[in-house]
Structure 1
Amino acid sequence: MLRAKNKIGLVFFPAFDWAISPTHPEREERLLYTQDQVFEEGILDIEGIVEYKPDLVTKKDVQRVHFCVPDLWAVMTESHFISAGGAKTVAMAVMDKKVQHGFALVRPPGHHANRVVHGSRGFCNVNIEAIMIEYMRQAYGIKRVAIVDTDCHHGDGTQDIYWHDPDTLFISIHQDGRTLYPGSGFLSELGGPNAAGTTINIPLPPNTSEEGILHAISEVVLPILDEFQPEVIVNSAGQDNHYSDPITNMNFSAQGYARLTDMLKPDIAVLEGGYAIEGALPYVNAGIILAMAGMDFSHLKEPDYNPARVRQAPEVTRWVEKTCDKVLENWQQRRYLGEMYRADYTFIDRDRNIYYDTDNIHEHQKETVRVCDNCGGALRIDSAARGKKHVLAVHIPRNACAACQSQGRDWYEEADVAAYDKVYLQDRARDVIEEKSQTPQ
């Protein structure tokens, strides 16, 4: 009998009852083909590869991360509770040391969902990785977490959630935002004033292949992870960098994904995008599973794979190397950049216009963060969506100092409920969620 070198846990959830439309790329067949291949190849018969059934997340699990407007039930379906629950299930298996690694092959995905949620962006309603991570922090007491997002699209929602968190390193490797949704993820996006440098974006040009993506992993991601020393590494394992993906322009392969996983050695991987349903996903997911299990994946190859057709051009190689050099320069100068950002401010504001492409919602946010030397800083978000609700959302970080706890409470208690449809408080220091409105709930 074959035996896995590393014991790993898998969760499958295709979400039969959730699809944007019957022919949309984000539909249940994304995982059904993978499930079929895993069963047909006998991967679950390998000793040390264990399947778990997804549990559901709780309402509080979601509210630790999101301000759902007007409430959870307007934003989430049962499938979203199970998808996030699948990620939570494998995280618990890893943290309880039942397995060494976990892979949540679930949908709907989540990395485009921001802290404030009025609807769906990029097929994402809630951020399943962030919900999983904050559950792990609450239940297991972990502090430092690294998220490496290898989806072809920039993980703008995860970036937003952890923009002000110095204990979360967020690294996104993606196709340049000038050429692909969501149009963000540039080198200058480094994190908020209390967490400058812990947001790292590696935008790569179209037609980047294994050579370029694996160069970014070996020369940038691994050295930064080694210096940051996270307790847990999470891979947002999007698979739309594949050369056959219908909505992106990259040239990665199943072998490349397996090698990336072998190099990164994530504790937990969570499926994100990937829309070449038959030609890529079954092979890519098999490669990720074999790599996490510490097994040979050298035989893995798509039927139509032609290395000459997806070879990286010299000008792409030069562009990738130049980008990686600049990322490392920013990382090395992060303390200086943070000091320049903070200057002598007590509070720093940020105005943002956010478009929910899936639901055609326009949101405007005014964000205020307290500049703090001791924690991530109290955060106040005034959010108004055209034709929707106007809300005030206050966040107190889990490691908040006394001054930021006091500021957050003051913002919440002094808020004029007549000016908003709802006022929320997300007090992570006490793990308490509160809300108030003109009409008592």
Structure 2
Amino acid sequence: MLKAARELGIVFFPAFDWAISPTHPERQERLLYTLDQLKEEGVFDIPGIREYKPEVAGEADVDRVHFCFPETSGVVSPSHLVSAGGAIRAGRLFMEKKAAKAFAMVRPPGHHAMKCVHGARGFCNINIEAVMIERLREEYGPLRVAIVDTDCHHGDGTQDIYWNDPDTLFISLHQDGRTLYPGTGFAHELGGPGALGATVNVPLPPGTSDEGFLYVAEHLIRPLLDDFKPDLVVNSAGQDNHFSDPITDMAFSAQGYAKLTEIVNADLAVLEGGYSIQGALPYVNLGIVLSMAGLDYSHVREPGFEPSRVRQGSAVTDYIRRQCVDIRKLAKNPPPRQRSGEMVGEWFVRRKTLYYDTDHITEYQTESVLVCPDCPGVLKIESESSRTPLCLGVQIPIRACPRCRSEGERVFEEGAKSGRYKVSRLIDRAGKRYERVGG
């Protein structure tokens, strides 16, 4: 009798009541076709594979991660909270050893949602992986976490949230930002001053197929994970690298995704993008499920797949192999001089202008991190947008030293009293103190 080699929990939530528009590819059918495929293949009849219902995240879970301006309730809908809750349920299944692996097959997605949130960008309002990871850290203690983002679009939001966190390795492989939204994710983006090398970007040329993705997985991602030795590996499992995806230019297959899943060997997968909702997602998700469960996926074939038609050229192959060598060197020996900002006293300062393409909001942000030899340092963000006046966010990290705890409290309290900011927010991870003043 067929039985899963590893117990797999699947958390399913199609978000019936949420869509960007009735005809937009980010709509409920993205997952309904997948559910039909999994049932048709008898996946839920295989011992060791079980479906679970999502939890519902609370605003407190969001506020542990994000500075939502002017208020959290104006940014998230019930569907976003259930999607994040689905990721949390998957994480808890793994942490409590109720499943060897878990796949949160949920929407809306989240990897374009940054530390500050004024609205939706890239179909994302809140970062569901980050909300899940920080809930797990709150409940189960410090965790060394690796996130491997395999969405075709650079995971700029996840990168932004963990830019200054040396305990979180973020690896994103994606279509080169010179050719696709959001236009970021280049190899020189390596993390903040206290976390250099903990951000690794692998921009791939259009037309990359199974050969290229699997080469990166074997020769770059796997060695980086082995060196980092995480307690938890999370796959942001975007599926828009598929050759049939309508909004990207890659050539990956369902079987390639399954093999990539096997190589990365993530403990948790969380669905991100993927917009070929009939021709790709049902088959890619099936391949990922079988791979995570340790089952044979060699029979998975999507319609229209002809390897000779989507195979990458030799120039692409050579380019990717050179990239892997160069990126590995950068990650292991990052240059101390950063291109993304400047030192102002003891603070490293970055100034950013961000556009929320889904909600048509422009944000102007100044991010400052206190460079500290003893901890990741206090984070201070001043942010205003075309809809919201100037706001303040201050984060004290989990491993904050006494000096940084004191400085973070001082910056927040002075900002809250100054009258300069419409809203002042404090995320004190060390003291589990979360406050909001103003509004």
Q: How much has 1:142 moved relative to structure 2?
A: 3.5
Distance of 1:293 and 1:142 partners within structure 2: 27
Amino acid in the other structure paired with 2:192: G
**Residue in structure 2 matched with residue 423 of structure 1 by the alignment:** 424
Deviates more, 1:345-354 or 1:229-238: 345-354
Distance of 2:332 and 2:149 partners within structure 1: 21
Task: Give CA deviations for 1:293-334 in whole Å, capped at 9, x if unaligned.
Answer: 000001111121100100110111111112111111102213
Distance of 1:251 and 1:320 partners within structure 2: 14
**Residue in structure 1 matched with residue 329 of structure 2 by the alignment:** 329
Q: TM-score, normalised by structure 2?
A: 0.97
Task: Determine helix, strand or coil for the equivalent of 1:73.
Answer: helix
Task: Determine helix, strand or coil for the equivalent of 2:308.
Answer: coil
Contact 2:342 2:350 in 1 (8 A): no
**Residue in structure 2 matched with residue 144 of structure 1 by the alignment:** 144
Q: Which runs of 4+ in 1 moved over 4 A?
A: 335-338, 340-345
Deviates more, 1:297-306 or 1:145-154: 297-306
**Residue in structure 2 matched with residue 64 of structure 1 by the alignment:** 64
**Residue in structure 1 matched with residue 359 of structure 2 by the alignment:** 359
**Residue in structure 2 matched with residue 156 of structure 1 by the alignment:** 156
Q: How much has 1:417 moved relative to structure 2?
A: 4.3
Task: Determine helix, strand or coil for the equivalent of 2:245.
Answer: coil
Distance of 1:115 and 1:434 partners within structure 2: 16
**Residue in structure 2 matched with residue 133 of structure 1 by the alignment:** 133
Task: Give CA deviations for 1:44-103 in whole Å, capped at 9, x if unaligned.
Answer: 000000110011012211111011111121001100010000000011011000100000
Task: Give CA deviations for 1:122-150 in whole Å, capped at 9, x if unaligned.
Answer: 00000000000001111111421000000
Amino acid in the other structure paired with 1:309: R
Q: How much has 1:390 moved relative to structure 2?
A: 1.9
Distance of 2:334 and 2:363 partners within structure 1: 30
Amino acid in the other structure paired with 1:423: S
Residue 306 of structure 2 corresponds to residue 302 of structure 1: no
Amino acid in the other structure paired with 1:292: M
Task: Determine helix, strand or coil for the equivalent of 2:6.
Answer: strand
Q: TM-score, normalised by structure 1?
A: 0.97
**Residue in structure 1 matched with residue 404 of structure 2 by the alignment:** 404
Distance of 1:279 and 1:175 partners within structure 2: 20
Q: What 5-or-longer segments of structure 1 have no aligned partner?
A: none
Q: How much has 1:418 moved relative to structure 2?
A: 1.7
**Residue in structure 2 matched with residue 81 of structure 1 by the alignment:** 81
Task: Determine helix, strand or coil for the equivalent of 2:399.
Answer: coil
**Residue in structure 2 matched with residue 436 of structure 1 by the alignment:** 437
Distance of 1:331 and 1:207 partners within structure 2: 25
Residue 16 of structure 2 corresponds to residue 16 of structure 1: yes
Counterparts in 2 of 1:343 and 1:182: CA distance versus 1, 3 Å: closer
**Residue in structure 2 matched with residue 347 of structure 1 by the alignment:** 347
Contact 2:8 2:102 in 1 (8 A): yes
Contact 1:12 1:54 in 2 (8 A): yes
Q: How much has 1:246 moved relative to structure 2?
A: 0.1
**Residue in structure 2 matched with residue 184 of structure 1 by the alignment:** 184
Contact 1:342 1:371 in 2 (8 A): no
Distance of 1:357 and 1:343 partners within structure 2: 31
Residue 220 of structure 2 corresponds to residue 236 of structure 1: no
Distance of 1:402 and 1:342 partners within structure 2: 25
**Residue in structure 2 matched with residue 54 of structure 1 by the alignment:** 54
Deviates more, 1:82-91 or 1:58-67: 58-67
Residue 34 of structure 2 corresponds to residue 31 of structure 1: no
Contact 1:113 1:126 in 2 (8 A): yes
Counterparts in 2 of 1:16 and 1:417: CA distance versus 1, 3 Å: farther
Contact 1:417 1:423 in 2 (8 A): no
Q: How much has 1:226 moved relative to structure 2?
A: 0.4
**Residue in structure 1 matched with residue 248 of structure 2 by the alignment:** 248
Contact 2:383 2:390 in 1 (8 A): yes
Distance of 2:168 and 2:152 partners within structure 1: 21
How many residues end up aligned between the 2 structures? 437
Task: Give CA deviations for 1:392-423 in whole Å, capped at 9, x if unaligned.
Answer: 10011111111111111010111144211111
Distance of 1:278 and 1:161 partners within structure 2: 33
Distance of 2:387 and 2:122 partners within structure 1: 20
Distance of 1:77 and 1:389 partners within structure 2: 23
**Residue in structure 1 matched with residue 319 of structure 2 by the alignment:** 319
**Residue in structure 2 matched with residue 377 of structure 1 by the alignment:** 377
Q: How much has 1:250 moved relative to structure 2?
A: 0.2
Q: How much has 1:386 moved relative to structure 2?
A: 1.3
Task: Determine helix, strand or coil for the equivalent of 1:25.
Answer: coil
Residue 108 of structure 2 corresponds to residue 113 of structure 1: no
Identity %: 56
**Residue in structure 2 matched with residue 387 of structure 1 by the alignment:** 387
Contact 2:341 2:351 in 1 (8 A): no
Distance of 1:255 and 1:129 partners within structure 2: 25
CA RMSD of aligned residues (A): 1.5
Task: Determine helix, strand or coil for the equivalent of 1:50.
Answer: strand
Amino acid in the other structure paired with 1:421: K
